[in-house]
Amino acid sequence: MPTLAMFIAVFFWSSSIIGMKFALAAFVPAEAMAARAVLAALAMWTVALAMRQAASIATLGWRPLLMGLLEPGLVSAFIMSGLARSPATTCAVMWSLMPLLQPVLGRLVLKEAIRPSVVVGAALALAGTLILIEGKSGEGQVSLLGDAFLAIGVGLAAINQLIARRVAQRSGRPAAVTAWQLTGSIGIGLLFLAFFPPPVSPFTTGTPSATAGLVYVGLIAGVAPFLLYNYALQHVPVGRISLFGGLTAPMGAPMAFLILGEALTLRDVLAIAVVTFAVMLPSLADWWRQWRAPSPGQE
């Protein structure tokens, strides 16, 4: 179940990139971030109450609020600023770098073992990422400032994942943790809106497609992946779970091609295949060990 939960979570994260590109066609990043934070928190508290997992911050501790300040708070601020300058495919590629960071950070900070299959998977994910980056480098789509914002956002997400792993292991209440996490992101969203106000009154420039994209990102793609992600972190080490970040490119690039009309070449398809195999490698290794292990009657 944790593996399936992460596949679904990454699908929603990938689709949120597309929804945000629609939203940013009419809204400035500060508007989009503030609206997403408020909508997501309201929706998640509704889910937590329905699941009877609502809990006070005194019960859970302060870390879920810190998680919200980091992600989706500051992470969203940098990712949205990057998306306003760089294509959606570049954002998907940046998330593919997570598998390189997390096994090492998980070992250093959480003392989690580094599995050989995860190391090999991370190396393959890097190879697929490099193929995608090289394929995009000659298309005139490079924005150094946009790419820098995206890279900072991914780095903050890596830090947040370490905190979220500890919280998930200790709380056992993913809905309550997610509700407080999304509540914490509201402060960053409103602060971002105050410091970077739109040139006209907020939320008056929306088109139907931009508004629909913003509502989707807030109510659906801003809730479901964090809930599923916090559930999966109860059972899966960060080194392995970070490999699923590599699926953002395989899922995001075809969406960008079909919905946004961004280029998708044969090179991109090859890179998608490499990254997908890299993500599946630890699971394939587990299945192989189980298949090779002798049954109780054969010992």
What is the tens place of the pLDDT at every residue in 228-264? 888 888 888 887 777 777 677 677 777 877 887 777 7
The C-alpha atoms of residue 277 and residue 54 are separated, in whole angstroms, by: 38
Give the chain's domain count: 1
Q: For 248-293, where are the alpha helices, taking DSSP H only?
A: 248-255, 266-292
Judge residue 158's burial from the number of C-beta atoms within 10 Å of its C-beta, 0-12 exposed, 13-18 middle, 19 or more buried: buried
Work out the average pLDDT over 37-59: 88
Q: pLDDT tens-digit profile of 270-291? A: 877 777 787 777 777 777 777 7
Range of the domain at 283: 2-298
Q: pLDDT tens-digit profile of 160-174? A: 888 988 888 887 788
The C-alpha atoms of residue 84 and residue 207 are separated, in whole angstroms, by: 17
pTM: 0.73
Query: What are the Cα distances from residue 59, in Å, to 74, 172, 185, 279?
Result: 25, 12, 19, 35
pLDDT of residue 140: 47
Q: Predicted confidence band at 298 (pLDDT cuts at 50, 70, 90)?
A: low
Short-list 265, 246, 264, 6, CA closest to 123: 246
Short-list 97, 94, 67, 70, CA closest to 82: 94
Short-list 240, 248, 229, CA closest to 285: 240
- Range among 116-120, 211-215, 242-246, 249-253 with highest mean pLDDT value: 211-215
